[in-house]
């Protein structure tokens, strides 16, 4: 009887860890969707920057500088999403919480 109870408890922990790992994989996939926004934003900024340089070639330095600063700020969102996905997949802190 004691062996059956221990086996049942071990199965519950194994199932709990499997559930946490499955949810972490789904969460990592959702976190990678965060890369879509910066891609769209940077493409839009590059297009508008090229349009601005075409209209005023003498302001190229200011336009490019502002465009690159905006692209760098927008890229941080994608990098944060990537970091969250990597943590969830490889250094998952949630698996240790299953008892």
CATH of the domain at 35: 1.20.20.10
Answer whether residue 99 is part of any domain.
Answer: no
Distance in angstroms (rounded) separating the CA atoms of residues 19 and 68: 42
Domain range for 45: 2-94
* 22: in domain: yes
> Maximum CA pair distance of the chain?
85
What is the tally of structural domains in the chain? 1
Whether 34 is in a domain gets the answer yes
> What's the predicted TM-score (pTM) here?
0.68
18, part of any domain: yes
Task: Please spell the DSSP secondary structure of 9-68, one letter per residue.
Answer: HHHHHHHHHHHHHHHHHHHHHHHHGGGHHHHHHHHHHHHHHHHHHHH-GGGHHHHHHHHH
27-81 pLDDT, tens digit per residue, is 899 988 888 888 888 888 889 989 999 999 999 999 999 988 888 888 888 889 8
The model's confidence at residue 12, banded by pLDDT at 50, 70 and 90, is low
Confidence (pLDDT) at 96: 77
């Amino acid at each position: 009887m004691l062996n059956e109870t221990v086996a049942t408890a071990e199965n519950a922990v194994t199932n709990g860890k499997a559930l946490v790992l499955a949810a972490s994989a789904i969460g990592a996939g959702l976190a990678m969707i965060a890369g879509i926004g910066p891609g769209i934003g940077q493409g839009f900024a590059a297009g508008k920057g090229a349009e601005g340089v075409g209209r005023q070639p003498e302001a190229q330095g200011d336009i490019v500088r502002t465009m690159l600063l905006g692209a760098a700020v927008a890229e941080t969102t994608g990098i944060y999403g990537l970091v969250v996905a990597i943590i969830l997949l490889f250094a998952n802190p949630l698996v240790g919480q299953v008892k």
